[in-house]
């Protein structure tokens, strides 16, 4: 202070052995040893909650399409809580899914569901009706739930990427059942952000989904926090304590308008879902038709010559495989169109078969 005296807050901090006084969101003093990185202001909380409110309805549309039942998220609530308090509140058997951000932003997010709700979702993901999921979730069901949560989190990645104007990548989800709150894979930090929302699946689930975020990640993605504008102060002497507007150049105004997309009429999906799909329509994909495969020794390959015959692992007349980016999506039969070969699609691989295929590759 200018008169050399100490305020009451500074005196209290010295008595407690605290090097720095950090005001909390209510205007008082924070806990001893807590830094500004462990806190979040009310405006920052509301900004991040608005992002979640944009993310989850979009994710609900995607999951609805996959499991062919209406999924909704509502009644969003954000709290800043200590890890100790969170663990003391978690009673029962849960299924946790942790996803780490590996590029673009740093941190992780933890999704927590009641085990019985997670089992229903996984049952629907593998092509069943969700009415009688297994009590013990095997690797197939855990993989299915991990895929569902990845779809939910992908909507958030899209929003974060747009706000920060950078590519964001994550690790594969880590999925496990927990009965001990001490084994929850909570984000690091004295305080963390807990977001709860009502999670409903048509006719089957009316429950709660919980998301946990580290405060450092929240500060990185909320508007204005990730890319602050720096100004160069004038080196000329100033007559008064206040800087004039001429000495502080303001950022250039950029005109932004809503993107307009043509209508997409696809049978069986809503207009909102169609708009989401439209964003991906121009992404190129590699389509491969595989007649069959053979496993050979090196000496056999070196012995190949003109006229050699290789026996494949498919029978004559058996459907060929259609792969997109090396993933099986359909089967078909070879046809001839004019002078070119073509494939008539005869079968689309359902979600359960795709998951089994992924499981077999592990």
> Coil, helix or strand for 33?
coil
Does the CA dihedral 52-53-59-64 come out positive or negative? positive
Does the CA dihedral 183-189-191-193 come out positive or negative? negative
The values of phi and psi at residue 120, to 5°, are -65, -45
In the chain, the percentage of residues whose pLDDT exceeds 70 is 70
Per the listing, tokens 């439209």 go with: 278
In the chain, the percentage of residues whose pLDDT exceeds 90 is 22
Per the listing, tokens 């799909």 go with: 277
What are the pLDDT digits (tens) for 215-232? 999 988 886 443 433 334
Q: What angle do CA 120, 124, 128 make, to 5 degrees?
A: 105
Q: What are the Cα distances from residue 181, in Å, to 59, 96, 175?
A: 27, 11, 15
> DSSP readout, 244-268?
PGGGSPPPPP-------------TT
**Mean pLDDT of the region 303-324:** 83
Q: Which long-range contacts (CB under 8 A, 24 or more apart) does 208-213 make?
A: 208/114, 209/73, 209/111, 209/112, 209/113, 210/111, 210/112, 210/113, 211/52, 211/109, 211/110, 211/111, 211/112, 212/86, 212/109, 212/110, 212/112, 212/186, 212/187, 213/48, 213/107, 213/109, 213/187
Runs of H (alpha helix) within 165-255: 215-221
Q: State residue 9's pLDDT score.
A: 55
Q: What angle do CA 267, 272, 273 make, to 5 degrees?
A: 55
When the pLDDT of each residue in the chain is averaged and rounded to a whole number, the result is 77
Alpha-carbon span 326 to 324, nearest angstrom: 5
Q: State residue 209's pLDDT score.
A: 94
Q: What are the Cα distances from residue 307, in Å, to 296, 298, 310?
A: 17, 18, 10
What are the pLDDT digits (tens) for 70-104? 999 999 999 999 999 999 998 889 999 999 999 88
Around 328, how many Cα atoms within 13 Å sit in the side-chain half-sphere? 22
What are the pLDDT digits (tens) for 115-157? 999 999 999 988 888 888 988 888 888 988 998 898 899 888 8
For the ranges 29-38, 40-49, 299-308, 333-342, which has the lowest average pLDDT? 29-38
Is 71 within 8 Å of 283 (Cβ atoms)?
Answer: no
80: its two tokens: 């800043």
Alpha-carbon span 24 to 34, nearest angstrom: 10
**Mean pLDDT of the region 52-62:** 88
**Mean pLDDT of the region 206-214:** 94
Q: State residue 269's pLDDT score.
A: 53
Bigger pLDDT: 262 vs 173: 173
Of 174, 74, 171, 69, the residue nearest 125 (C-alpha): 69
Q: State residue 227's pLDDT score.
A: 40
Specify the length of the chain in residues.
362
Name the pLDDT band for 252 (thresholds 50, 70, 90).
low
**Mean pLDDT of the region 164-183:** 90
Q: State residue 266's pLDDT score.
A: 45
Q: State residue 116's pLDDT score.
A: 92
What are the pLDDT digits (tens) for 153-165? 988 888 888 888 8
Q: Is the pLDDT of residue 33 over 60?
A: no
Alpha-carbon span 89 to 148, nearest angstrom: 25
Name the pLDDT band for 208 (thresholds 50, 70, 90).
very high
Q: Is the pLDDT of residue 340 over 60?
A: yes
Alpha-carbon span 273 to 266, nearest angstrom: 10
CB atoms < 10 A from the CB of 184, how many? Answer: 17
Tell me, letter by letter, the H, E, C secondary structure of 41-87. CHHHHHHHHHHHHHHHHHHHHHHHHHHCCCEEEEEEEEEEEEHHHHH
Per the listing, tokens 């209510």 go with: 26
Is 87 within 8 Å of 182 (Cβ atoms)?
Answer: yes
């Amino acid at each position: 202070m200018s008169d050399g005296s100490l305020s009451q807050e500074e005196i209290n901090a010295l008595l407690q052995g605290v090097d720095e006084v950090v005001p909390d969101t209510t205007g008082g003093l924070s806990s001893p040893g807590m830094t500004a990185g462990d806190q979040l202001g009310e405006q920052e909380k509301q900004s991040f909650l608005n992002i979640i409110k944009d993310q989850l309805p979009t994710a609900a549309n995607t999951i609805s399409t996959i499991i062919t039942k209406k999924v909704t998220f509502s009644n969003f609530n954000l709290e800043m809580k200590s890890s100790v308090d969170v663990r003391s509140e978690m009673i029962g058997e849960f299924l946790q899914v942790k996803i780490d951000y590996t590029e673009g932003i740093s941190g992780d997010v933890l999704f927590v569901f009641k085990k019985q709700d997670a089992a229903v979702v996984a049952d629907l993901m593998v092509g069943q009706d969700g009415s009688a999921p297994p009590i013990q979730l095997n690797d197939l069901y855990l993989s299915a739930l991990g895929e569902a949560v990845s779809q939910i989190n992908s909507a958030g990645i899209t929003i974060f990427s747009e706000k920060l104007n950078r590519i964001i990548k994550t690790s594969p989800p880590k999925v496990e059942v927990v009965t001990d709150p001490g084994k929850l894979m909570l984000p690091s930090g004295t305080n963390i952000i807990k977001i709860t929302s009502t999670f409903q699946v048509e006719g089957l689930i009316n429950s709660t989904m919980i998301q946990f975020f580290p405060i450092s990640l929240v500060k990185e993605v909320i508007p204005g926090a990730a890319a602050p504008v720096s100004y160069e102060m004038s080196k000329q002497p100033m007559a008064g304590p206040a800087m004039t507007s001429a000495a502080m150049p303001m950022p250039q105004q950029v005109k932004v308008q809503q993107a307009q997309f043509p209508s997409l009429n696809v049978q069986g999906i809503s207009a909102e879902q169609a708009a989401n799909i439209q964003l991906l329509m121009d992404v190129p994909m590699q389509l491969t038709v595989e007649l069959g495969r053979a496993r050979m020794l090196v000496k056999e390959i070196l012995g190949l010559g003109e006229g050699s015959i290789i026996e494949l692992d498919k029978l004559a007349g058996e459907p060929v495989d259609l792969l997109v980016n090396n993933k099986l999506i359909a089967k078909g039969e070879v046809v001839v169109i004019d002078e070119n070969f073509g494939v008539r699609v005869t079968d689309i691989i359902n979600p359960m078969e795709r998951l089994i295929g992924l499981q077999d590759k592990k």
